[in-house]
Structure 1
């Protein structure tokens, strides 16, 4: 178990380091699947596939085309809640929300079983810390140059999140509390700790606010003498026009929160509108099964993808 968790931690750190050309995203409330709908201004089809199908799936191309299309038809029938032959925006939105909630629930169950194999009523911080960080010697960590410094930062953040999720203060989490620890974006009470983590990452001079330079440097890892991609120039405009609401040249904590956790924006609603716009051949504001099937690639994709959960569930078909 310890070796497995060690590997998971190393993988986490590896995927957290992006190439200098890649855009780093900070918006926690992408909500649907952790992906950008548009990556560097290019439409990302996987966003649509994962929003529609859900996460934690088997490779989609493992299914023969005929079978995958049959299962897509079954999904359409499930979405059409009132069985009138049309998928409305509301029905599609509710389905997308359902797939996201199912993913979160399954992720919590999986992580709880991994960290609490005996399924005790609560998981103590001491046991969690031993499982996740017990293989690391922190006694010699002095500065950022030490190889275990990143793990020390992760442990500190985990501890802070743990304490936030631990409502009764007994230094142990119930499964419900552990879910808040894993997915703080789902709980209003936990969102402040996410903003604090973001500020720590970006605010390099520790002055309590984010300058344009810090903002861009966090999103883009290019060298100073390199020509910036167009999307970076667009982000500069975003900073001035939308992020820096009081126009003082910096983002304070509230402005960072509005950026990272956009208020009053329903991602499932936006995705439902997008899918209907793309597939609604007769422009009547709703979708028939034929319209969805004719846009097969939009909804489930023809390329290999790691996300096809709804199509891979044999018990539902």
Structure 2
């Protein structure tokens, strides 16, 4: 079995991130409803978890946005007292001007920092894995051999009769296409910057079209280039019992498909409608998540957070038993 690369994992995370968003208003601006639910065009982060399903708040989304995905491995193993202590130390780092308040801008910069750190560390690991000779670029053939070379030892029938192998075959084709888009100088080699775009296309403007294409392919099960209501719902919800009634949040998504997604009312989402949905203009994820966290923890309503308010709501930020969180907090050299 090959050392599985993060391109596929990143794709899964990105798809879940982009495709399970809560229904926004038609102007695609984030809002907070009466239940404290933040509705935005991109209501999920790269953790691949849905932020809200109806009225059910998934705290893992906030946890990973607050500390970053790679630092979401061991915090849930800590007792509450220790997790609060370490969270308090992080709060002191977020409070840049040391005025004992965490403002929206400070929290936004922290979330942006955790995102950058995860991407930098992820790319660093993968660069070393696929570039053992320390070259300035990685060739497609070297990457393909490292990730998909095991397919070369199989005959066509062996591959086609094994769904697992066929999945890798499809992934190889998708990676090849994405590689070509990331390869800006068209030399079939990727610099570290281009390799970053390949692994994390959601963060590069030049990769927006390939993200859109891959997203449509993931949802469009009949491959007609459009997304039906059934395909839209099936991507986020599968009822294991056909006779069971759908949850309210699914009913809301059905209504939202017609009201806010299908802009021309033809019953389908075409490419431009999907683009409006998953990559809306001028949407700032970090600011949106910072606003949400302040809403969740701001007890006195002054639109900024004290350490006491954050610790009071520490389970929103870290420490849930349902999440893996906080490897950064366990690093002995930081605390």
- TM-score over 0.5 for the alignment? yes
SS in 1 for 2:333: helix
> Residues 197-249 of structure 1: CA distance to partner in whole angstroms, max 9, x if unpaired?
12223334443322223323333333794345223222211110111011121
Aligned CA RMSD, in angstroms, stands at 2.9
Pick which of 304-313 and 268-277 moved more. Answer: 304-313
1:224–1:24 CA distance, 2 compared to 1 (3 A): farther
1:195–1:124 CA distance, 2 compared to 1 (3 A): same
2:124 equivalent to 1:124: no
Match of 1:173 in 2: 190
Structure 2 Cα separation of the partners of residues 192 and 153 of structure 1: 19
Match of 2:19 in 1: 26
| Alignment partner of 2:260 out of 227, 242, 247 | 242
Match of 2:285 in 1: 267
Say how many residue pairs are matched.
306
Match of 2:92 in 1: 77
5+ residue gaps in structure 2? 22-41
Preserved contact between residue 66 and residue 317 of structure 2 (Cα < 8 Å): yes
| Alignment partner of 1:98 out of 103, 113, 122 | 113
Pick which of 87-96 and 196-205 moved more. Answer: 196-205
> Residues 93-145 of structure 1: CA distance to partner in whole angstroms, max 9, x if unpaired?
11111111111111111111122222221111101111111111465169976
Pick which of 158-167 and 191-200 moved more. Answer: 191-200
Preserved contact between residue 216 and residue 235 of structure 1 (Cα < 8 Å): yes
Preserved contact between residue 211 and residue 249 of structure 1 (Cα < 8 Å): yes
Structure 2 Cα separation of the partners of residues 128 and 258 of structure 1: 33
* Superposition TM-score, scaled by structure 2 size: 0.82
Residue correspondence of structure 1 range 121-270 to structure 2 within 5 A: 121-137=136-152, 139-140=155-156, 146-147=162-163, 148-222=165-239, 225-230=242-247, 231-270=249-288
> Residues 281-313 of structure 1: CA distance to partner in whole angstroms, max 9, x if unpaired?
211111111211222222212426322033123
Structure 1 Cα separation of the partners of residues 224 and 263 of structure 2: 18
1:281–1:216 CA distance, 2 compared to 1 (3 A): closer
Preserved contact between residue 60 and residue 304 of structure 1 (Cα < 8 Å): no
1:25–1:83 CA distance, 2 compared to 1 (3 A): closer
Structure 2 Cα separation of the partners of residues 294 and 167 of structure 1: 48
Shift of 1:269: 1.4
Tell me: higher relative CO, structure 1 or 2? Use CA pairs within 8 A at least 6 residues apart.
Answer: 1
Structure 1 Cα separation of the partners of residues 198 and 269 of structure 2: 26
1:118–1:64 CA distance, 2 compared to 1 (3 A): farther
